[in-house]
Every structure is written in structure tokens, then in C-alpha cells.
């Protein structure tokens, strides 16, 4: 068994190696292929950027993710032999999400097929032992789990509508989960290693995805991240913190809401507005919260920095709950949910402002 200092060196070394690998492989893709992942977009869809860019950032995520499993097996052979079924379920679900995203990037698959694969990802998690535990009835927990998995996969995909935003939000959620794992007992080496590797891969990709971006993560990235984020949400927040047996459902739901607040708000706002207009919530458009921040005068880079700030606040509030609140009371739910509601209302009302420049993206 490794000492704490040795573990720190191992995880730090993996982090920097994964960042460099992500930079290298994405650089190679950029150099040797200008069309890989650059699918033909549906002309009926309104997209924020009209520039044709390769969308293969998610490939590096998945390679690093698989590599981390292999590295853990080499560094912790005894622990790897006793991997829990939920890890194999995670590997299967993320693989399905990645392959579905790859097919969608290449062929623009039908939405119903994507939805069925997302449901299947949720089923695989449940069968392998990863399920939200809130209700006294098992089928209700399983139904909520599937709704959660499908919802987060679509939320991350929908949030990937402007340079760097989805990457930033994912980095902060994974980082919050990493902190939760580091302070939990017993130490979960494989989960920590996977989180470190994925965060590093995202940081390496962010070099190419920051405005003005040179590549997108594509559905390969958003679907993979969506599955993994849904899994982490269940492991660290829905059933984490004090544990499903020691924390009430309201406490765990509030923590999860704070951590995933930005993708949840964006998806909710877009869905409400599109239904009100009589359009499909699943067709892309320039009506996301990110776009309306741009219409209000922010540049693409400033929008990304705004999401950095909001993600930092959510991360801070989550740490307040972890470290400063020993016993959850109703007033805590009121305070933290009020913050979420206020932020939702601010961003929702922003979308109701009159504007005359919807048709022209602002990328300055």
C-alpha cells in the first residue's frame, strides 16, 4: 500500500501526464485532419457559430478514461481485482454513450435512437448497482435514476452551445466530486484516479476549445461526459456526502441541485421558452442562457468567465454544506434552494429582454 505522499505523487503525475496527452492527441488531430468529426450539419438548425470546425475533442476524453482504468490496474493490482460491479457498469454505460455520440457526429442519428441509448445507459447503471436511493419504493428510485441519466446527458449536450462553456461546467462538477471523494472514507482510489484523469483531459481540451475555439467536443464528448457526470452525481451527491442512510432526501437533492445548477437551469429555461413558442425543445437554436448573456453585451470569452464565476459559487456552497453543516435543517434547504431559484429567475428573465440582434452571433 502506498503512503499519502506517494499517492499524492502518483495522482499529480497522472494529472500532468493526462493534460499533456490531451494536448498532444488533440494537436495531432488538428494537424492531420481538418474533416474528422466535422459532420454535415442540418441546415434547419440555428447554430451559434457558423464556422465549420472538427468535433472530436471527446475522443481524448474517452482514451484518457480507458487509460486510467488500465493505469489503476497496474498501480493497484490487488484493488483492481475487487472492482465493484458498478465500475463495470460505468465502463459499459460510458462506452455506449461515447459510441452513440460518435455515430451522431458522423451520421446525425435520429433523436429517438439517441434517447433509447440514453435510457439503456441508465438501465445498465441500475443493473450494475448504481441507483439513486431516495424513495422507499425501488421502482421509483429506478425511474428517477433513468430520468436523471437521460436528463444530464441531454443537459450537457445542450449546454455545449458556445466555446468552453460545457467544458468549464464539467470541470467544476468533476472537481467538486473529486473533493468529496478525497474527504470520504474509505479512500476510493479508482474513482479518484478516474476523476483526476478526466479533469486533466478536459483542461487539455480547453486549450483548443477556449474562444476563439479550434475544435468542439462533439456528441462524442458531451454524451460521454453526460453519462459520467450522471454516475458521479449519484455516487457523490445523491447517495454521497453523509450517505443515503444518514442524510435525508431533501438534503441530498439540494446538494445535487447546487452542483448541477447551471446545466439544469439552462435546460429548464430553454425547454420552457421553446414549449411556450410551440417549438421542439430538442432542436438546436440560439436561445440558450449563454446566448442571451451575449445578446446582453458580453463577448463569448466573458460568457465563459461568467460560468466560471457561477460554477465557483456552486462549488463554494457545496463545500459549506460538507464542512460547516453537521445537522441538516429545513432552513438550510430554504437558503440554498432560494439561491438556485434566484439564479434561475435572473437567467430566465434575461431571455425575456427585447433584443434586435438574435440572428447575428456576437463573438468579439
Q: Map out the domains of the chain as residue ranges.
A: 9-34+52-350
pLDDT in tens, 289-312: 999 999 999 999 999 999 999 999
Nearest partner of 175 among 305, 68, 312, judged by Cα = 312
CA distance 141 to 76: 33
Q: How confident is the model at residue 105 (pLDDT cuts 50, 70, 90)?
A: confident
Better pLDDT: 343 or 353: 343
pLDDT in tens, 6-43: 999 999 999 999 999 999 999 998 887 655 545 454 54
| Helix (H), strand (E) at residue 253 | helix 249-259
Q: How confident is the model at residue 249 (pLDDT cuts 50, 70, 90)?
A: confident
Nearest partner of 346 among 284, 267, 293, judged by Cα = 293
Give the global pTM.
Answer: 0.92
Better pLDDT: 166 or 362: 166
Better pLDDT: 186 or 158: 158
SS3 55: coil
Residue 207's contacts (CB-CB under 8 Å, 6 or more residues apart) are: 23, 26
Q: Say if CB 62 and CB 94 are below 8 A apart.
A: yes
What region does 297 belong to: left with phi over 0, alpha with psi -120 to 50, or beta?
Answer: left
Cα-to-chain-centroid distance, residue 134: 22
Looking at residues 324-331, what average pLDDT do you find? 90
130-139, 152-161, 351-360: which has the minimum mean pLDDT?
351-360
Q: What is the DSSP code (8-state) at residue 201?
A: H
Q: How confident is the model at residue 360 (pLDDT cuts 50, 70, 90)?
A: very low
Looking at residues 137-159, what average pLDDT do you find? 97
What pLDDT, on the 0 to 100 scale, is given for residue 282? 81
Q: Say if CB 25 and CB 63 are below 8 A apart.
A: yes
Amino acid at each position: 500500500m502506498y503512503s499519502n505522499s506517494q499517492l499524492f505523487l502518483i495522482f499529480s503525475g497522472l494529472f500532468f501526464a493526462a493534460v499533456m496527452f490531451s494536448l498532444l492527441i488533440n494537436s495531432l488531430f488538428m494537424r492531420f485532419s481538418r474533416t474528422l468529426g466535422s459532420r454535415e450539419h442540418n441546415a434547419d438548425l440555428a447554430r451559434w457559430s457558423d464556422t465549420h470546425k472538427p468535433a472530436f475533442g471527446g475522443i481524448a476524453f474517452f482514451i484518457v478514461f480507458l487509460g486510467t482504468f488500465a493505469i489503476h490496474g497496474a498501480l493497484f493490482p490487488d484493488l483492481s481485482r475487487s472492482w465493484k460491479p458498478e465500475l463495470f457498469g460505468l465502463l459499459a454505460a460510458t462506452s455506449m454513450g461515447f459510441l452513440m455520440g460518435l455515430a451522431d457526429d458522423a451520421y446525425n442519428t435520429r433523436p429517438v435512437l439517441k434517447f433509447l441509448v440514453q435510457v439503456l445507459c441508465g438501465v445498465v447503471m441500475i443493473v450494475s448497482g448504481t441507483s439513486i436511493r431516495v424513495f422507499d419504493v425501488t421502482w421509483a428510485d429506478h425511474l428517477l435514476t433513468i430520468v436523471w441519466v437521460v436528463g444530464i446527458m441531454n443537459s450537457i449536450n445542450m449546454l455545449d452551445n458556445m466555446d468552453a462553456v460545457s467544458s468549464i461546467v464539467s470541470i467544476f462538477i468533476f472537481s467538486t466530486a473529486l473533493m468529496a471523494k478525497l474527504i470520504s472514507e474509505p479512500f476510493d482510489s479508482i474513482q479518484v484516479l478516474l476523476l483526476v484523469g478526466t479533469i486533466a483531459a478536459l483542461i487539455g481540451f480547453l486549450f483548443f476549445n477556449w474562444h476563439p475555439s479550434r475544435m468542439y467536443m462533439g456528441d462524442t464528448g458531451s454524451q460521454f461526459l453526460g453519462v459520467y457526470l450522471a454516475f458521479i452525481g449519484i455516487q457523490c451527491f445523491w447517495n454521497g456526502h453523509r450517505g443515503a442512510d444518514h442524510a435525508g432526501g431533501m438534503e441530498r437533492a439540494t446538494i445535487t441541485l447546487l452542483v448541477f445548477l447551471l446545466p439544469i437551469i439552462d435546460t429548464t429555461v430553454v425547454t420552457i421558452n421553446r414549449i411556450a413558442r410551440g417549438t421542439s425543445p430538442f432542436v438546436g437554436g440560439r436561445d440558450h442562457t449563454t446566448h442571451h448573456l451575449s445578446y446582453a453585451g458580453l463577448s463569448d470569452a466573458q460568457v465563459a468567465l461568467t460560468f466560471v464565476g457561477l460554477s465557483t459559487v456552486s462549488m463554494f456552497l457545496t463545500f459549506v454544506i460538507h464542512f460547516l453543516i453537521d445537522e441538516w435543517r429545513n432552513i438550510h434547504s430554504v437558503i440554498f434552494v432560494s439561491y438556485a431559484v434566484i439564479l434561475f429567475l435572473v437567467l430566465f428573465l434575461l431571455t425575456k429582454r427585447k433584443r434586435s440582434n438574435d440572428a447575428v452571433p456576437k463573438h468579439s
